[in-house]
Amino acid sequence: MFCKLKNEGSTRLLQILFQIGKHFYGDFHMLQETYGEDFLSRTQCQEWYQRFKLGTTSIEDDPKSGRPSTSMDDDYVEKVFAVICQHRRLTVREVADEVGICKSSCHLILTDKLKMRRVAAKFVLRLLMKTF
Cross-strand bridge partners of residue 123: 118
Single-letter code of the amino acid located at 122: K
* Location of each CATH 1.10.10 domain in the chain: 7-53, 74-129
79 pLDDT more than 90: yes
Is the CB of residue 117 less than 8 Å from the CB of residue 111?
yes
Length of the chain: 132
State how far the Cα of 37 lies from the Cα of 59, in Å rounded to an integer: 20
Tell me what percent of the residues of the chain surpass a pLDDT of 90: 14
Q: Does domain 74-129 have CATH number 1.10.10?
A: yes
Which overall architecture, per CATH, does domain 7-53 show? Orthogonal Bundle (1.10)
State how far the Cα of 122 lies from the Cα of 118, in Å rounded to an integer: 5
pLDDT tens readout for residues 41-66: 888 888 888 888 888 777 776 666 77
**What pTM, to 2 d.p., does this model score?**
0.45
Average pLDDT for 84-98: 88
- With a CB cutoff of 8 Å and minimum separation 6, the contacts of 117 are 110, 111, 123, 124, 126, 129
